[in-house]
Structures are given as C-alpha cells and as structure tokens.
Chain A
Amino acid sequence: MTPVITARDISLTFTTADGPVHALKDVSLTINPGDFVSFIGPSGCGKTTFLRTIAALETPTGGTLSVNGMTPDAARKARAYGYVFQAPGLYPWRTIAGNISLPLEIMGFSRADRAQRIRRVLDLVDLTGFGSKYPWQLSGGMQQRASIARALAFDADILLMDEPFGALDEIVRDRLNEALLDLWKKTGKTIGFVTHSIPEAVYLSTRIVVMSPRPGRITRVIDSPLPRDRPLEIRDTPEFIALAQQVREGLREGHGYD
C-alpha cells in the first residue's frame, strides 16, 4: 500500500522576539489510505501545526514531507485535501448550498455538476433539505456539518480536521462523532483529526498520535485494536478503556504536567 502522507524528520521553527520556538522537531509519521489518524496532546504540542504543514498552510523548516506522492504545496494546488476548522466559517451572505458551492465555483465546476455535488454532500452529512437555509438559521452542530459537507464537495481523498467539534457541547459532539465515523466508512477517505479529547480520539481513530510540547514532537503512536464498526456503546468495553488508558499514559510521560 502506498502511503498517502509520509513525513520524515519534519521540523518547524518560528522565529519570535523571544528567540526561536520549536513548534515541531523531528516528526516522522506515515499515514496509509483510509486511515483515521488522530493527533492528541496539550496546547503547544504542534498537533495543529503538523496538520497545517500537511495542508501546505505552513512550510516546514526541515525534513521531507510528501502528500499523495507530491510536495504538500503541489498537493494543495491539486486540491488533494479538504480542511475543516474549529469554526464553521460559513459566509452569512450565502445559503448553505451557496457556501458548499463556493469551493466548487473557485475550482470551476459546471453549474449542473455543482448542484448534483451539493445535493450529494448534504445527504452525506444529513442536512438534506437545508440547502436553501442561511447559516444563522442552523444550530452550531448543523453549521459544522455544513462546513464538513463543503470540505467533501470536491472529492479530495484526504480530510484534515482541526478540532472540528471543539466548540460544541458534548451531546452534539457524540452525535457528530458517530456521523463522522459513518461518513468515513461510506467514503473511505483518509482523515487527519486534531483533538483535545481522549474519548473522541479513541472512539474515532485507527491510529492515535500522542504529541507533547517544547519542542513539539510525537511521543507515542498507538494502533487501535478496535473494529471499524463502532457503535457508541463501544466506549464502555474493556478494550476501549484500556486504549484510553494507554493514551493517557502517553500524554503523562510526554509533559509530566509541568
């Protein structure tokens, strides 16, 4: 299997007035097609920065990174990924359908193709019939689903998500986690997912990457033994709890709660 993302010794150092900040140091990771990889760690561990280097929104200062066999920037230009931020970032002056249409217009899809794609991704995120609504008419969870639909509309193989459910309450979050798993099974996308939440990481991922700060680095990579089919109740099983325990230990050895 050819890996989708290969990172070898990635470093990223920001120069600030207080001296250099090592956001990433010697990060190596391979992500295979169809993987669901979560990045977890305390603030400043570089999990978001690493996701952004994959998306070519940041440029590493050292190491090699390839996405779909290209440089990250070439992959960005080839529209290899859809990116979902913590905030939905929907335009208030466009309807939900209009918002999903935005990247499609930018990429030059035909009108008919756009309409068909919008319908399909709205179905996929369970927002059928909400296309003509404006963002303010939807709840926070629905808005975030619309932003996921927008990231899916142009059929990128990779979905990069930066704490997409971080601003939502736990009940909505549970539902969206289930919906995301369902969507991942249906589409077979490769997903990179940044989170603060141990249960979320364990519930969703095939692999969990535990990171720690100063300098930002990977301390542990845990392959999940859980099956791909995961009802919410799986979170009460001993396997799930043991896995969560491993992640917690990884986090503890990483930064020692200083």
Chain B
Amino acid sequence: MTDAAANGGVNPALRGGLPILTVLLAIVAVWYGAAVWMNAPWVRDQAARAEATLTAPDLIRQTLTLDRPVLPAPHQVAAGLWDGIAGQKITSKRSLVWHGWVTLSATLAGFAIGTMAGIALAVGIVHNRAMDQSVMPWAVASQTVPILAIAPMVIVVMASAGVTGLLPKAIIAAWLSFFPVLVGMVKGLRTPDAMQLDLMRSWNSSPAQVFWRLRLPSSLPYLFASLKVAIAAALVGTIVGELPAGATAGLGARLLSGSYYGQTVQIWSALFAAAILAALLVMLIGALERLTLRRMGLA
C-alpha cells in the first residue's frame, strides 16, 4: 500500500496535525479515566454516609466536579488555569500572570548569570591548560549534588545576610543552567579544525583574534542548543528555589500553598503555567537560533 492510499482522502495540511491530535486526545481520555478512578472512592464514601445510591452516570459526574479532587479532571485544570491567567487582575496575588512574572524574572536573571558563567568557564577551559584539567570535574560534581538539598541552604544563608527576593532564586537557577552552557561551549569553541587554526596562525593572529573571529562564531550552533536546555533548567531551579518555607510569590510558592491547603486544582494550574512558560521560553530561543544561524549560513 502506498502512502497516498494509506492517507486516503485526508487533507495534506491535516496529515501533520492528525497524529499530534490523536496523541493529545488519548492523553486527555486516559486522564479523564484516571480522574474518575482516583476520585471514585471519595464519592462512594460520601454517598454511603448519605445513604444514597449512586448510578454510574452520577458517580462519573460527581468524580469530575469535586472541589478538592485527588486528581482534577482536565476541564477543571483548564478552568483553573484560565481563571488564574485571565480571570484576575494581573496585580492580584491569585493571578498566575503575576506569579508567573515573579518566577520568570528570577529565571531570566539566573539564566543570564548561568550563561555568562558557563561561557566564561568554557573560554577558560579552552585557553588555559590548568583550567582544562581542573574545572570540569568540579562542574560535574556541582550537578550531582541534589538541587533540593542546595536550594534551602542558599535561601537561608543569603537571607541571613539580608539578601532575599529575586537574587537567591536566580543563583539557584544559575547553578543549574551554567552546566549545559559550559559543556556545549567547550565543544563549540573546539570545533574549528586544525586547518582553520593553521590559517589563523599563518596570518599571525593573536589569540583574541582567533577567539572573536573564528572560535566564537563557530561555537554558536552549540551555544543555542545549550541555551535551550539551560533556560528550562533555570526555570526548574527558580521553582525549586521558591519551594523553601517563606516564599509567597512565584509559581513554586503557588505549588506549595496549593499542597498545604489540598487545592489540587491550584497545584495543577501552577504546574501547567510553569510548563507553558518553559515551552514559550524554549520556543523563543529556538526562533532566535533559526534567525541567527540562517543569517550566518550555519543552519
């Protein structure tokens, strides 16, 4: 059977979207099933106490409309998300836009610090023998320490020094995001081959000229690949930094307060807000990557 026959009369434009839509629908269906299954014991228990009999449609309807479900149904999360984004003034503490901005600002600050640190270390490693042999093991070690153990220490130590708010979270975000940049840039700065380096040498170029005119432009494809990983890592770092006691703002704090009060819809809404934010950030870097690399003839 040929491809055309397999696709029957499907509009070619839909051919790409159809598999994605199918998977999405399957996930939503499984989710609904799980919501009914996980919330049913509570609904049955309530019915037993009220000495009411439950028909199957009743059971399903009630499991999907609980105030504090064990697992909220997709439409409840969607409603919570919509209410959090569009239903509140964005200055409100109930607004996911406001919490999202708190998280985003720390994420971007941490991402900037992490990226600069990663690039600086990579430049050092590529140009300095001692750094080449000594820095990488420490960088790897830094990433094997669980961030959940580091984050509270950073928050507490910095708070005792009077530094609170954005900076401690940004440092945790930087801690996670410098590493992919470091690894990518060491690889990227070393991509020029022996011939290109020989050419530079034949022109008697200084190390700075080799760096700015050859190594740095050659490394950009690697840098962008790393930045996509790094910005997602920075967001995770920021949210983890918002979890330790005391934080009242940010998606992490929203997650935490939701779990304190059993507000599962709030937890899931915050989770999805974080996921959407991450996707947007990665897409933004992807767009920047395509634009830059195409202009440089590297894509």
Contact = CB atoms under 8 A, between A and B. Distances in A.
Given A87-B195, A89-B195, A57 B202 contact: yes
Q: How large is the interface on B (under 10, 10 to 19, 20 to 34, 35 or more residues)?
A: 10 to 19
Contact of A135 (B209, B214, B297): B297
Nearest to A156: B202
A102 interface: yes
B217 interface: yes
A83 B296 contact: no
A50 to B, nearest CB: 15
B294 to A, nearest CB: 11
B195 A57 contact: no
B201 interface: yes
A92 B200 CA distance: 16
Contacts of A57: 198, 201-202
Contacts of A134: 297
A102 B213 contact: yes
B260 interface: no
B296 A85 contact: no
Contacts of A85: 195, 198-199
A77 B198 CA distance: 13
B224 to A, nearest CB: 14
A76 B297 contact: no
Contact of A77 (B204, B209, B295): B204
B180 to A, nearest CB: 24
For the side of the interface on A, what is the size category? 20 to 34
Nearest to A160: B202
A55 interface: yes
Interface string A125-164: 0000000001110000000000000000010000000000
Interface centre among A55, A102, A136 (most CB of B within 10 A): A102
A183 B200 CA distance: 24
A36 interface: no
Interface string A101-132: 01101110000000000000000000000000
Contacts of B198: 57, 83, 85
A107 B213 CA distance: 13
Interface in A60-93: 76-77, 79, 81-83, 85, 87, 89, 91-93
A105 B205 CA distance: 10
B204 to A, nearest CB: 5
Interface in B241-299: 295-298
Contact of A103 (B195, B203, B296): B203
Interface string B65-84: 00000000000000000000
A81 B198 CA distance: 13
A161 B195 CA distance: 13
B202 A92 contact: no
Given A91-B217, A92-B297, A79 B199 contact: no
Nearest to B206: A106
Contacts of A102: 203, 213
A106 B209 contact: yes
A81 B205 contact: no
A81 B202 contact: yes
B205 A89 contact: no
A89 B297 contact: no
Interface of B: 195-196, 198-205, 209, 213-214, 217, 295-298
Sort A-B residue pairs by CB-CB distance and give the 4 closest, nearest first.
A93-B296, A92-B297, A83-B202, A103-B203
26 contacts: A55-B202, A57-B198, A57-B201, A79-B203, A79-B204, A81-B202, A82-B202, A83-B198, A83-B202, A85-B199, A89-B199, A92-B296, A92-B297, A92-B298, A93-B296, A93-B297, A102-B203, A103-B203, A105-B213, A106-B204, A106-B205, A106-B209, A106-B213, A107-B203, A136-B297, A154-B203
Given A79-B203, A89-B196, A93-B295, 14 more contacts: A76-B202, A77-B204, A79-B204, A82-B202, A85-B198, A89-B195, A89-B199, A93-B217, A102-B203, A103-B203, A106-B203, A106-B213, A107-B204, A135-B297
